[in-house]
């Protein structure tokens, strides 16, 4: 089941193409990352998804249909430009926001209390928003997006302005959302968060789709496809020479990096090695999402 589907969507502003022929889908119950450098079009894509702006070309379906106003209540949105009711008290404001989205007051009250406790903000519940630190306001903004228990949660840069502890707490809540069956769309510059949180990602550059798929697939595809092996005994090295399909070997002090020939699977090489020598540890060398991001965006600049 797909919660969001974009089919060949394009959008331009003042005759400048901002989103170009973008297709992707977000599966129900996954955390989906929208990644890309500044100005790539991530926020524009989110605004299209939420029907704040309309595409010039293409089709967008949310919950399997065009987004109706009733369906909008099933969505929680943390916008990039933040805004809270600064004079309202925390608990009061969260209850009010949940009621606006159709949640009964009693349930809204229970939800708000439990969410405030989960981010250790409960003791501040009767403070006005403006009396809180910037980081706390950020967290409250996050809670405002999920207070009405939405099925689809859209978070535009949820970690900006958060210290490492608050980041960890918000990350844990995002994982809980997924574990309870919600769908999350997350736009972020922070690749290490995308790598640990997201099931699948779409990477945009200048409005175009440059990467799309599961984080694991993308990392494997961009890997050098090498295997780092440490043998129990140095003689283990001799085992490598008995195996075919190896293009290059680089010896380090304690380990060797083995580069297979084109089309040879590192897993097969590993099986062959295990038959011939005792292996202390091995590691398939994979690039981080951050390295892939930089490489992909830089190679597009040089094109
Ligand atoms: N309403 C608008 N009118 C004209 N241009 C716009 C409008 N909205 C966005 N743009 C342009 O579209 C491009 C993409 O902007 P967008 O905010 O979607 O990028 P982003 O990937 O979210 O960037 P960032 O990471 O910096 O927030 C930018 O060049 C921006 O100037």
Task: Please determine, looking at this structure, whether the domain spanning 2-219 carries the CATH number 3.40.50.300.
Answer: yes
pLDDT at 201 over 80: yes
Give me the chain's average pLDDT, please: 89
| Ligand 1 within 6 A of CB of 260 | no
| Ligand 1 within 6 A of CB of 207 | no
CB 259 within 8 A of CB 247: yes
Distance between Cα 43 and ligand 1 center (Å): 7
Residues facing 214 on adjacent strands: 200
Which atom of ligand 1 is nearest the CA belonging to 46?
18
pLDDT mean over 125-152: 90
Residue 146 pLDDT: 94
Q: How far apart are CA 264 and CA 225, in angstroms?
A: 9
pLDDT at 285 over 80: no
DSSP at 1? -
In the chain, list all ranges with CATH 3.40.50.300. 2-219
CB 48 within 8 A of CB 20: no
**154 contact partners, CB below 8 Å, separation of at least 6:** 46, 49, 50, 75, 76, 77, 78, 145, 184, 185
Q: Give the CATH number of domain 224-285.
A: 3.30.70.100
pLDDT-derived band of residue 158, with 50, 70 and 90 as boundaries? Answer: very high
In the chain, list all ranges with CATH 3.30.70.100. 224-285
CB 12 within 8 A of CB 18: yes
Give this prediction's pTM. Answer: 0.81
- Residue 98's H or E segment, with its range, is helix 90-100
Higher pLDDT, 44 or 297: 44
pLDDT at 73 over 80: yes
| Ligand 1 within 6 A of CB of 302 | no
Ligand 1 pocket mutation, candidates 16, 34, 37, 39, criterion most atoms within 8 A of CB: 39
| Ligand 1 within 6 A of CB of 40 | yes
| Ligand 1 within 6 A of CB of 39 | yes
pLDDT-derived band of residue 6, with 50, 70 and 90 as boundaries? Answer: very high
Residue 287 pLDDT: 80
**For residue range 81-102, what is the model confidence (pLDDT) as tens digits?**
767 777 889 999 999 999 988 8
The complex's ipTM?
0.95
């Amino acid at each position: 089941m797909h919660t969001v589907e974009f089919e060949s969507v394009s959008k331009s502003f003042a005759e400048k193409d901002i989103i170009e022929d973008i297709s992707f889908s977000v599966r129900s119950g996954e955390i989906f990352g929208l990644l890309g450098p500044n100005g790539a079009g991530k926020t524009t894509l989110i605004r299209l998804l939420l029907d704040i702006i309309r595409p010039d070309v293409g089709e967008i379906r949310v919950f399997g249909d065009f987004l109706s106003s009733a369906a909008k209540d099933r969505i929680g949105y943390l916008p990039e430009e933040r805004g809270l009711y600064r004079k309202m008290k925390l608990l009061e404001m969260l209850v009010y926001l949940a009621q606006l989205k159709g949640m009964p007051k009693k349930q809204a009250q229970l939800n708000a209390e439990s969410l405030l406790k989960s981010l250790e903000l409960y003791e501040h519940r009767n403070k006005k928003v403006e009396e809180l630190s910037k980081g706390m306001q950020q967290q409250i903004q996050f809670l405002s997006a999920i207070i009405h228990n939405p099925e689809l949660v859209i978070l535009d840069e949820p970690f900006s302005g958060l210290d490492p502890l608050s980041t960890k707490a918000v990350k844990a809540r995002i994982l809980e959302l997924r574990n309870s069956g919600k769908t999350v769309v997350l736009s972020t510059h922070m690749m290490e968060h995308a790598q640990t949180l997201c099931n699948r990602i779409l990477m945009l550059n200048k409005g175009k789709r440059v990467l799309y798929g599961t984080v694991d697939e993308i990392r494997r595809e961009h890997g050098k496809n090498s295997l780092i092996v440490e043998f129990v005994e140095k003689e283990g090295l001799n085992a490598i020479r008995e195996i075919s399909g190896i293009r290059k070997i680089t010896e380090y002090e304690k380990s060797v990096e083995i580069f297979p020939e084109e089309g040879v699977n590192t897993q097969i090489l590993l099986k062959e090695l295990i038959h011939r020598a005792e292996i202390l540890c091995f590691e398939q060398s994979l690039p981080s999402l951050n390295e892939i991001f930089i490489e992909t965006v830089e190679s597009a600049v040089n094109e």
